[in-house]
Amino acid sequence: MKGVTVISHPLVQHNLTRLRDRETGPQEFRRVLGEVAALMLYEATRSFAVAPIPVTTPLARTLGVRLRREVVLVPVLRAGLGMLDSILQLIPHARVGLIGLKREETTLRATFYHKSLPADLRRFEVILIDPMLATGGSAVAAMDLLAELRVERVRMVNLVAAPEGIRRVRAHYPDLPIFTAAVDRRLNDKGYILPGLGDAGDRLFGV
């Protein structure tokens, strides 16, 4: 699928399998989700622009690089929080924006309840983070908010994606790069991803 990168690294796939397993409880789920998020981030940030800078080692001067732009991480509440801490360990200088969305159980429509984002999003590299891309309603709603703030460089990281969700996001945001560990089979009649891993928020927080 164009613009979709499936991260097939063995450590990512090993951890995804632990998360899929219904016997994995909240404590282990939290730990493994964090680990897999950090691994996925390497791939998701591979194309970040860098600028050359001189650096002096104890022995000589040489040329190094620094990230050209500041980074804003935007986890979608709640489940996106499960991927945040470990990513912050890799990019400690990143800012954090939050978008709160809750999918209504029967209509599957995403209802917005919270937003805190930098106003000048245009100058940042933005990473939208949510473990699940199911119908795509939440991802499109989150992207609509970012687009209102004129975001220019954004990519999305989802642990598991459904083909239906990818198609919906593509229809609205054809150029959004999507990084995922798996494109699963399909949605069931309740809008859950098959095989998926169940309700990510519930499994993460135990409620």
Residues annotated as catalytic (active site), given as ranges: 103, 107, 199, 202
Asked if 115 and 64 count as a contact pair (C-beta separation under 8 A), the reply is no
Q: How far apart are CA 36 and CA 84, in angstroms?
A: 11
Q: How far apart are CA 93 and CA 43, in angstroms?
A: 19
131 to 150: interface string for ligand PRP, x by CB under 6 A? xxxxxxxxx-----------
Amino acid at 127: I
Per DSSP, the three-state class of 62 is strand
Rounded to 5 degrees, what angle do the CA atoms 182, 89, 175 make? 45
Amino acid at 194: L
Q: Looking only at residues 78 through 107 of this chain, which bind ligand PRP when binding is defined by CB under 6 A?
A: 78-79, 101-103
Rule CB under 6 A: say whether 24 interacts with ligand PRP: no
Q: Based on CB atoms, which residue is closest to ligand URA, 123 or 186?
A: 186
Asked if 187 and 166 count as a contact pair (C-beta separation under 8 A), the reply is no
Rule CB under 6 A: say whether 132 interacts with ligand URA: yes
Number of residues that bind ligand PRP (CB under 6 A): 23
The CB-of-202 to ligand PRP minimum distance in angstroms stands at 6
Instruction: Please choose, from the candidates 132, 107, 137, the residue with its C-alpha nearest in 3D space to the C-alpha of residue 192.
Output: 132
51 to 90: interface string for ligand URA, x by CB under 6 A? ----------------------------x-----------
Rule CB under 6 A: say whether 201 interacts with ligand PRP: yes
Q: How far apart are CA 11 and CA 36, in angstroms?
A: 8
The CB-of-53 to ligand URA minimum distance in angstroms stands at 42
Integer-rounded Cα Rg, in Å, for the chain is: 17
Instruction: Please choose, from the candidates 103, 123, 121, the residue with its C-alpha nearest in 3D space to the C-alpha of residue 112.
Output: 103
State which of residues 134, 141, 142, 204 lies at the interface with ligand URA (CB under 6 A): 134
Rule CB under 6 A: say whether 180 interacts with ligand PRP: no
Q: State the residues that interact with ligand URA by CB under 6 A.
A: 79, 132, 134, 192-193, 196, 199-201
Q: State the residues that interact with ligand PRP by CB under 6 A.
A: 76-79, 101-103, 108, 110, 130-139, 165, 191, 200-201
